[in-house]
Amino acid sequence: MTEFGKRKLIVSIDKGGRWVLPKMHFDGCEYSNCDYIYSPDNISYALQADALIFVPNTPQSLLQFPRAIRQQQLWFVSSMEPPAYPLHRFNKVVNNFNGSMTYLRNSTPAQFFYGRAKKERAPIHRQPTINYSKNKTKGAFAYVSHCGSKQYDRLSFMKQLKKYINVDIFGGCTKQQPCSKKVDISCEAEAHYPYRFYLAFENSLCTEYITEKFWKRLKSEGNFVPVALGGLSVHEYTDIAPPDSFIHVYNFSSVEALGKYLPHLMTDDAAYNKYHEWRQHYSVSLDKGKPCGLCKSINHPESLRAEQNRQFADERNDENNCKNLSIPAS
């Protein structure tokens, strides 16, 4: 292991997992003497590491480290997927880890983001009043890569909304791809500009699971209003998103109630523009965050002492972290 003050080695040994950590760097952090290596095949790097990062589906064989090595290392688990799917739940061995790095706000030593909002000190646009409804004559669109979803029938919900407003579904599920890439913000600005809404429906309804579906449409130059469906409550969105920047399904008692509200916003331009007033004062970023806390914890492992008794697997796998949803048609 490296000595305090010298370079610290962090190794991720995710093998075959869907989530690969971003290219971590620590420039500008209080502690920047850490190097990150993604090495799923070379176990020798892992044996030399000061810290190891695992994912939920890491093969059990990779957890069998010599006791002397394990006692000198910090072990973390990382995932950007929700625990609704068995593949993404944590093995019980994770209860003995030193920390977790996920999208959850209580992650330690670092949290990774799908997106963030920032209130700017000065107004962003010189022109305070912009008509965001101009030339927006279509209803809603969505990208759905996989038809399946957990806790509710996402595709059925979208199709039910078609009774009240135009809804176009693109992506792998429907085989319709108007853009060359599955998610292309610049393409959306042109091809999808006529739409007023984007259906940001998550594939599962779990605590704080708010993905790029939501954030990329807030940031898009197409100026869409996300119709969100995710998390356990609306407050999980209002706590982190710009104020009055989205519509959430949980605020409606039925598909019909939501279906009647969206057409109202197709004809009432003043009401629709209120969902864009935030753009004068807030900016949206898609960066995953800088894991400064990770490097600091490796230099000061005692800082994780308060986390030693946290049962990371039990916390994540708690069935109350996700919920089922059945929205009446009317």
Residue with tokens 């920032």: 118
Beta bridge partners of 247: 227
Q: What is the DSSP string of 143-204?
A: E-S-S--SSS-HHHHHHHHTTTS-EEEEBTTTTB-SSSSSS-HHHHHHHSTTEEEEEEE-SS
* H-helix or E-strand spanning residue 34: strand 34-38
Cβ burial of 235 (10 Å; 0-12, 13-18, 19+) is exposed
Strands (E), 84-147: 99-102, 116-119, 138-143
Whole-angstrom CA distances from 320 to 102, 106, 206, 269 are: 18, 16, 9, 40
Tokens of 86: 């068995």
In one letter, which amino acid is 102?
T
Other Cβ atoms closer than 10 A to 1: 14
Asked if residues 86 and 63 have their Cβ atoms less than 8 Å apart, the reply is no
Q: Which amino acid is at 202?
A: E
* Tens-level pLDDT at each residue, the chain (330 residues): 444 458 999 988 765 444 445 567 898 999 999 998 887 666 788 888 999 988 776 656 566 777 777 788 999 988 899 999 888 888 888 888 899 999 999 998 999 999 999 999 888 876 768 899 999 999 999 999 888 888 899 999 999 999 999 999 998 888 787 766 555 566 667 788 999 999 999 999 999 999 999 999 999 988 999 999 999 999 999 999 999 999 999 999 999 999 999 999 999 999 999 999 999 999 999 988 888 999 999 999 888 865 667 888 899 999 999 999 988 887
Q: How far apart are CA 248 and CA 250, in angstroms?
A: 5
Neighbours of 137 (CB within 10 A): 11
Task: Evaluate whether 241 touches 117 at the Cβ level (below 8 Å).
Answer: yes
